[in-house]
Amino acid sequence: MKKIISIIACCILSLSAFAQDAYVVWSHKVEKVEKDLYKVIFSAKIKEGYHSYSIKDEISATEFLDCSVTGGKLEGEVIETLKAIPYPDGSLCYEGEMEYVQLIRLKAAEALYSGTIYTDACKKGEGCHSEYYDFEISLKSR
Amino acid sequence: MKKSLLLSVFGLFAVLNLSAQIPSVKIQDINSREFDTKDMVDGKTPAVITFWSVKCRPCIAEMNILNDCFEDWQEEMDFRVIAVSCDDSRFNSKAKSMIGGNSWENFIHLFDINGDFKRAMNFSYEPQVFVIDPNGKIVYSHSGENPGIEEEVFEALKEASL
């Protein structure tokens, strides 16, 4: 009986080793810039040993997809606030963290900013993992 | 003792993975028609199944390596390269345009838009390469970047076509 339990426990342990943590963890905060103008700051923590790509990278760029604002409008494009690391293969990467900002102009008392951030998390010698982060951010005039 | 037991369990998983068959999953062909992945098995020729996505640098490099080797290898044996795009619908048109742009026309192109086939094949990293024998048995598998991929794939294809 003990043997059976040990074998089952080993199998469960082995399976859990295959389980994946998130490679890029996103969070956001909203700051008021001026009357009706807000900035949404997206911060990403990149798993140790991995890198992700700048929105300016030619091939593997992080992308903001299907973005829309109900009750407002996007003011300009997404910008990145940290400095990407140029890699020898010509790519522009981030290690540890990355940060992006989008300005939103409110046209009503309340707005809903939604979209998806696509990013690749890669590790030298292992390969890449594609991630999609769906967001829905409520903005209230204050 | 514990270490050897764990190694045995890992080894068992590896053996199970390599002796596995291609599952039946509905994906799309280049003309957006339904394709059942069990039809990758033709009973005559081995195949390289390579999973890629438009933003994956090592995947693109690997596709180019396989493309460069394709004609030379064809002189030695009959085989197919089946390239499966893992991109979702938002990147599907870009994936199709990259096929022509990179001259990957030698390959059979399939599109796993919902990620069902990727899940069924149980891997998370790209690039991912499998070699199957004419009966669909997986004889080689590699996940992630591999600078010596062409030698390993060539050997696996030769073995699979015997």
CA distance A73 to chain B (A): 22
C-alpha A90, offset from chain centre = 22
pLDDT tens for the 142 residues of chain A, in order: 556 555 555 444 444 444 446 899 999 999 999 999 999 999 999 999 999 999 999 999 999 999 999 999 999 999 999 999 999 989 999 999 999 999 999 999 999 999 999 999 999 888 899 999 999 999 998 7
Question: 3-state secondary structure string, B72-115?
Answer: HHHHHCCCEEEEEECCCHHHHHHHHHHHHHCCCCCCEEEECCCC
Whose CA is closest to B125, among B105, B113, B142?
B142
Q: Residue A14: what pLDDT? A: 47
Q: Give me the helices (H) in chain A, please.
A: 2-18
Lowest mean pLDDT, pick from A39-43, B16-20, B55-59, B119-123: B16-20
Distance from CA of A123 to the nearest CA of B (A): 9
For the segment B64-87, what is each residue's pLDDT rounded down to a tens digit?
Answer: 999 999 999 999 999 999 999 999
- pLDDT at position B90: 92
Confirm whether B5 is domain-assigned: no
What does the pLDDT read at residue B144? 86
Beta-ladder partners of A69: A113
Helix or strand run (H / E) with residue B68: helix B57-76
CATH 2.60.40.1250 fits A22-140, yes or no: yes
Asked if residue B15 belongs to a domain, the reply is no
User: What is the per-residue pLDDT for B132?
Assistant: 96
Q: Can you give the CATH number for the domain in which B49 is found?
A: 3.40.30.10
Question: What are the residue ranges spanned by the domains of chain A?
Answer: 22-140
Q: Which of B3, B5, B6, B57 is the mutation pick for testing A, counting most A CBs within 10 A?
A: B57
Q: Is residue B62 part of a domain?
A: yes
| B117 found inside a domain | yes
Which phi and psi (to 5°) does residue A25 adopt? -110, 120
State the residue range of the domain holding B126: 21-160
Pairing state of beta strands B108-111 and B80-85? parallel
Query: Does residue B43 lie in a domain region?
Result: yes
- How close A41 comes to chain B (CA, Å)? 24
Give yes or no for a contact between A48 and A83, defined as CB atoms under 8 angstroms apart.
Answer: no
> By three-state DSSP, how is residue A81 classified?
coil
Q: Is residue B16 part of a domain?
A: no
User: What pLDDT was estimated at residue B154?
Assistant: 96
CB B50 within 8 A of CB B83: yes
Contact pairs from chain A to chain B, CB under 8 Å: 65
